[in-house]
Amino acid sequence: MPIFEYQCNQCDHEYELLIRSSEKAKCPECGSEKAEKLFSSVSAHGGKNNSLPISSGCSPNVPPCGPGCCKL
Asked if 50 and 68 sit in the same domain, the reply is yes
**Cα Rg of the chain (Å, integer):** 15
CB atoms within 10 A of CB 25: 20
10 vs 51 pLDDT, higher one: 10
Q: What is the CATH number of the domain that holds 22?
A: 2.20.28
Kindly state whether residues 11 and 36 are assigned to the same domain: yes
Q: Is the model's pLDDT at 53 over the cut of 60? A: no
Q: What is the pLDDT of residue 2?
A: 72
Q: 30 is in which domain, residue-wise?
A: 3-40
Is the same domain home to 18 and 33? yes
Rounded average pLDDT over 22-28: 89
**Percent of the chain scored above 70 by pLDDT?**
53
State whether 53 and 31 are in the same domain. Answer: no
Q: In what order do the strands lie in the sheet with 3-8?
A: 14-18, 3-8, 35-37
Average pLDDT over every residue of 15-31: 89
Q: How many domains does the chain have?
A: 2
Cα 1–chain centre separation: 13
